[in-house]
Amino acid sequence: MERRIGLLIVAALLCGGCSAMSLRSQSPEDDELVAAAVDTELVGDLAVADGMQPVAVEAIALVTGLAGTGSDPPPSPERSALLDEMQKRGVLQPNQVLASPTTSLVLVRGFLRPGIQKGDHFDLEVRVPSQSETTSLRDGFLMQTRLRELMAISTQLHSGHLLALGEGPVLVDPAEGEESDDHTRQTRGRVLGGGICLKDRPLRLVLRPEHRSIRNSTVIGQAINRRFHSFTQGVKQGVATPKTDEYVNLVVHPRYKDNIARYMQVLRSVAMHETAPKRMARLKLLERQLLDPVSADAAALRLEAIGKEGIDTLLVGLETDDSLVRFYAAEALAYLDDERAVAPLAEAAREEPAFRVFALAALGAMDNLSARDALVEMLALPSAETRYGAFRALWAMNPRDPLVQSDSLSDEFSYHVLSVDGPPMIHVTRSHRPELVMFGKGQRLKTPTVLEASKRILINARNDREVSISRFAIGQPDQQRVVSASLDEIIRAIVELGGSYPDIVQALQQARAQKALTGRLEVDAVPQPGRAYDLKAPADEENQGDEGDAESGVPVVSNPTPELFSTRLSKTDAPDRSDEIVDPSGRAAKTAKSATKPHSGKAGRGASITGAKSRKAAQRAKPASRSASRIKRR
């Protein structure tokens, strides 16, 4: 009996000891994980990104070729500046040139994006001064102008260094389908890709004042170069160059060339120095953070910054039922060029408008055949922004891909005819670069119809077999081409007669207004950031029926806008085409699922210069439900 009692006591002590060990093993483990994360110093703890704000460059310039809609500018500092520039360039009788109704003084502005390199192109905004009598810039051509940073002090214009040159045909806002008498719209335009940068804009990491030292600058450079490298003339070298105790110069890694803001976020998430045991502990903590929608975005970025060792942890995120976690994990895997990111990102691009712009940019950054195949499949989808977004991602992936390679039609713009399934569609741009993409071959113009490509080019479509394109110019013989009603032949004939990209866009606009197109015409149908994410939360008394829009406080994806889909110069938000479908007649129909919303700002984000009121309203909004507040942006 005593022996049995002794055995029971020993067994009880052993079980109690095991239980105590089990209880203690949880809390210390958590403490160790947190301690490992706290002890790991990241680049962002010591340095901040520099060069992430766009630089505005401006000029006073001359637009020529107007059809009698120009004006003689009144006396002003702008007129004096333009006359001075014309005299320096050797223009004879500059006052007479300015007095001609075929010319107009204009204000030109462009933005040098972060990381832009010498020779890169960017869009220019052109507008007439408020006191000008010019009635329209349509058919105009911007003469070569020198772009600088400008500042008005008293009545004098002061300029900085020469940073860019600008020149090209002026595209008056093509968002409207027909001619408009709106004076503001007619006297503003763009020269797509008309700016040429003359100097590289450096990207840097600037050390915080309390951390400035040669040692810290060197350690930051070494940490980044362990993670990232590029090739210059076949020689492998790091992307970071410590210059002084204050800053480190950076070279853009090719995978992030169209998403500079994300690149800087990842660089600042790189660990300065970390032992293997500490990294393993941090990976365990990052896995827990990745599986929580609140911290999934930051955890995915830090795993991406770790590199190949973070892939297994990110794959755990792909297996979760939470679509937000799954998206963040897949996006980070894409920038690590892991093929397993393709399927979830393709699904996100097709099904969830809030993820689309980021998913397409990530797929376009990959060097992977599966990613290309997924993008090619999207070219036939009904959604205009999904198929055009897929096209632009394919172009970013490889501009020499035969599927998206530009036809040698004109040096002024890119022309692409895609042999793809899906509803016929023509897409034109008013940002990024002058580009016309025809989705589906064999599109035709409905006849009879008469179109005016410009004041000098007339299109007379008598029947399906005979369409005459005529050009009239003072002092020159009339020219004519006769083609069929094929839109491809008509476009080529306009170019042969000296027509520009704005001329073709205007002709297509008029054809749409007259319902003479067999397909749809879309303008800048690019996927948009800042859309509300559909929570798909389980129904309960508190969140049942919650649709999840940004106005009610539901968060948007907390990523910076990829430069690939940036429309920084746009004056209005682009229309939401996320749920457009096409009926057999080719007309676009729309089912509202989630409205296009401008995102609330975040450090390092490429922000639009419009939509401030909407942003403020979204920032003031409060979470509408428990599930909404659960994953609201920090």
pLDDT over 50 (residue 293):
yes
pLDDT single digits (tens) 437-481: 999 998 999 999 999 888 889 999 988 889 999 998 877 888 999
**Residues whose CB is less than 8 angstroms from the CB of residue 205 and which lie 6 or more positions away in sequence, other chains included:** 43, 47, 48, 49, 50, 220, 240, 247, 248, 250, 267, 268
* Strand ranges in 259-364 using DSSP code E only, listed in sequence order: none
- 430 or 630, greater pLDDT: 430
- Give yes or no for a contact between 527 and 345, defined as CB atoms under 8 angstroms apart: no
Contact 150, 58 (CB under 8 A): yes
* Confidence (pLDDT) at 570: 39
25: exposed, middle or buried (Cβ count in 10 Å: 0-12, 13-18, 19+): exposed
Q: How far apart are CA 239 and CA 225, in angstroms?
A: 6
Residue 400 has which token pair?
């020499």
Q: How far apart are CA 260 and CA 331, in angstroms?
A: 15
pLDDT of residue 6: 56
Q: Evaluate whether 370 touches 333 at the Cβ level (below 8 Å).
A: no
Q: Name every residue whose Cβ is closer than 8 Å to that of residue 217 and which is 6 or more positions away in sequence.
A: 207, 242, 243, 244, 245, 246, 247, 248
Q: Pinpoint the alpha helices (H) of 126-213.
A: 183-186
Of 442, 438, 434, 402, nearest to 418 by C-alpha is 438
Average pLDDT score over residue span 217-222:
96
Report whether pLDDT(630) > 60. Answer: no
Handedness of CA 547, 551, 553, 559 (dihedral sign): positive
Determine the 3-state secondary structure of 318 from DSSP: helix
Tokens of 390: 């897929």
Decide: 134 and 99 in contact? Cβ < 8 Å.
Answer: no
Secondary structure of residue 509 in the 3-state scheme? helix
What's residue 18's pLDDT? 39
**Which of the two residues, 396 and 31, has the higher pLDDT score?**
396
Q: What is the DSSP secondary structure assignment for residue 298, as one 8-state letter?
A: H
Check residue 141 and give its pLDDT.
94
pTM of the complete model = 0.78
Q: How far apart are CA 133 and CA 72, in angstroms?
A: 8
Report the distance separating Cα 469 and Cα 490, nearest Å. Answer: 8
Q: What is the mean pLDDT of residues 250-265?
A: 93
DSSP H/E element including 195? strand 188-197
Two structure tokens written together for 571: 């004056």
| Least confident segment among 15-19, 112-116, 137-141 | 15-19
Asked whether the beta carbons of 469 and 483 are under 8 A apart, the reply is yes
Mean pLDDT estimate for the chain: 81
